[in-house]
A and B are shown apart, each in its own frame.
Chain A
Amino acid sequence: GENVEQHPSTLSVQEGDSAVIKCTYSDSASNYFPWYKQELGKGPQLIIDIRSNVGEKKDQRIAVTLNKTAKHFSLHITETQPEDSAVYFCAATYNFNKFYFGSGTKLNVKP
């Protein structure tokens, strides 16, 4: 099956700085890559996703990039705010049945 690796496991930034979280995947057939944000005591929520036919996608302060050749994708958060503090998960799927998740990144935005 698919194997998704995520780095770093923890990330601490100053408010207003940018944050980047990186993921790699093993199965070249994977074609959909979502990112989820999990706040304390809650279930994960989708914040952005990208399909394999697209190299980059933006939504206000967040963006995702995909490099199919290298089999890696990244989440970029600009102008970070304290409310961005959470655990972020990347995921990959090739058939939309099984979604394989990374191990998570705990982002701490210091005011």
Chain B
Amino acid sequence: NAGVTQTPKFRILKIGQSMTLQCTQDMNHNYMYWYRQDPGMGLKLIYYSVGAGITDKGEVPNGYNVSRSTTEDFPLRLELAAPSQTSVYFCASRVGGGRAGELFFGEGSRLTVL
């Protein structure tokens, strides 16, 4: 069971470039999340999805876009990359329903914008 898989693991972007971080899960989880982790700042929620076709903003959505066309995939799009988007990005999923709270995280994608 692969769990939550993120690609790429590392990426360097130039200012103004765009890219997509991929996230896929094989646990048939309804809920999926994108977080960014900056040193000393914990995890900040960018976007989340409660199911295919449904997405909503988190705490820090500016500069990002998401889509959820299937249960398995939740890509994060960065348009016009800026140095402030240098961070480690984590995708997570949760089974949802009732009060099942555990988040399953991927191993992260480290993005540097120069």
Q: Chain A interface (Cβ within 8 Å of chain B)?
A: 1, 4, 6, 9, 32, 34, 36, 41-46, 49, 51, 89, 91, 93, 96-104
Interface size of B by Cβ–Cβ distance < 8 Å? 28
What separation, in Å, do the CA atoms of A102 and B25 have in the docked complex? Answer: 25
- The reply to whether the CB of B53 lies closer than 8 angstroms to some CB of chain A is no
- A102-B42, A103-B42 known; A41 and B107 CB under 8 Å? yes
What separation, in Å, do the CA atoms of A44 and B44 have in the docked complex? Answer: 13
Shortest C-beta distance, A93 to chain B (Å), equals 7
Interface contact B43-A34, CB-CB below 8 Å = no
Residues of B within 8 A of A1 (CB): 59
- The reply to whether the CB of B103 lies closer than 8 angstroms to some CB of chain A is yes
- A1-B59, A97-B50 known; A43 and B105 CB under 8 Å? yes
Shortest C-beta distance, A3 to chain B (Å), equals 10
- A99-B45, A100-B45, A103-B42 known; A43 and B101 CB under 8 Å? no
Q: Which of A34, A43, A89, A93 has the most CB of B within 10 A?
A: A43
Q: A-facing mask of B87-106, CB < 8 A → 1, else 0?
A: 00010101010011111011
Interface contact B108-A43, CB-CB below 8 Å = yes
Q: Chain B interface (Cβ within 8 Å of chain A)?
A: 4, 31, 33, 35, 40-45, 48, 50, 56, 58-59, 90, 92, 94, 96, 99-103, 105-108
What separation, in Å, do the CA atoms of A45 and B48 have in the docked complex? Answer: 18
A-B contact sample (10 more), CB < 8 A, given A34-B103, A46-B103:
A1-B59, A41-B107, A43-B92, A43-B106, A43-B107, A44-B43, A98-B58, A100-B59, A101-B43, A103-B40
Interface contact B42-A101, CB-CB below 8 Å = yes
Interface contact B41-A98, CB-CB below 8 Å = no
What separation, in Å, do the CA atoms of A1 and B40 have in the docked complex? Answer: 20
Residues of A within 8 A of B31 (CB): 97
Give 25 A-B contacts (CB < 8 Å), ordered by A residue: A4-B42, A9-B40, A34-B102, A36-B103, A41-B108, A43-B4, A43-B90, A43-B105, A43-B106, A43-B108, A44-B103, A44-B105, A45-B105, A46-B103, A49-B102, A96-B100, A97-B48, A98-B45, A98-B48, A98-B58, A99-B45, A101-B35, A101-B44, A103-B40, A103-B42
